[in-house]
Amino acid sequence: MDTKSLEEILRNIQNNQLSVEQAMNQIKHFSYQDIGHTKIDHHRQVRTGYPEVIYCAGKTPQQVQEIFQAMLERENNIIATRADREVYEQVAAAVPEVEYHQTARIITYTHHEPVVARTSVSVVTAGTSDMPVAEEAAVTAAFFGNPVKRFYDVGVAGIHRLQKNIEDIARARVVVVIAGMEGALPSVVGGLVDVPVLAVPTSIGYGANFQGLSALLGMLTSCASGVSVVNIDNGFGAGYMASMINHLS
């Protein structure tokens, strides 16, 4: 249930098209729904404009399926992150209409088309190895109604690749930059564009990368203004924030 649905219920009561008892039956799970192992926050759509997202890591395939089916009853769009193929196959057995984005490890279900932003999001990676995190960001942003343009493998080791694409990258309202190793690319992009840059450190790199810590610290200490940083490998967080920025009026 979203804000529009709640408004419709209230108007139907006002117009004597719906009884109080009928309305209560429709909104009884409005705040949250307890399905035993999970309390689903159906009210989040109204509070934040975005529905609750299913984080699959640590959940059993059966649990994810049950959460998915419970959310499906509310007629909302659904996105589930960090889903491996076993989880997808379990969900798809119950809801064949779902779509699996394998590289991103995301399952989506679209009940209604989202409001599409007038401006776009650029997703940029330093290397091909950063693509799983980049796709998590890109699929998330697209799911929430953002046109997404991808620019992959344009890192600082071959800076001419970035220079050739920078004009197209900069046409977006927000740029998501994903990099492992030393994490230098967001600083370079931040010095070349006049829009917000969301930096995503990845765990890609050799030993001194410390599973993404060196990239994280490098991005946090960037000398380029307009660069903000999310957690290591957090493509979802970057895609979500990019969507919030891009939908601002």
Enter the tokens of residue 236.
């979802």
Delimit the domains of the chain by residue range: 31-109, 121-246
Q: What are phi and psi of 196, to 5 degrees?
A: -60, 145
Q: Residue by residue, what is the 3-state secondary structure of 112-167?
A: CCCCCCCCCEEEEECCHHHHHHHHHHHHHHHHCCCCEEEECCCCHHHHHHHHHHHH
CA distance 66 to 148: 31
The residue ranges of DSSP E strands in the chain, in sequence order, are 33-34, 39-40, 54-55, 78-81, 99-101, 106-109, 121-125, 148-151, 174-179, 197-201, 227-229
Q: How far is CA 99 from CA 75, 83, 89, 110, 211, in A?
A: 16, 12, 11, 9, 30
Residue 124 forms beta bridges with which residues? Answer: 151, 177
pLDDT for position 52: 82
- Averaged over successive runs of 10 residues, the pLDDT of the chain (249 residues) comes to 72 86 70 70 70 90 91 84 96 94 96 90 96 98 97 93 95 97 94 97 93 96 94 97 92
pLDDT for position 64: 93
Question: Is 198 in contact with 241 (CB distance < 8 Å)?
Answer: yes
User: What CATH topology corresponds to 121-246?
Assistant: Rossmann fold (3.40.50)
Enter the tokens of residue 249.
């009026």
pLDDT for position 17: 86
Closest CA to 243 of 101, 132, 113, 143: 143
pLDDT for position 32: 66
Closest CA to 230 of 115, 54, 245: 245
For the entire predicted model, the pTM comes to: 0.85
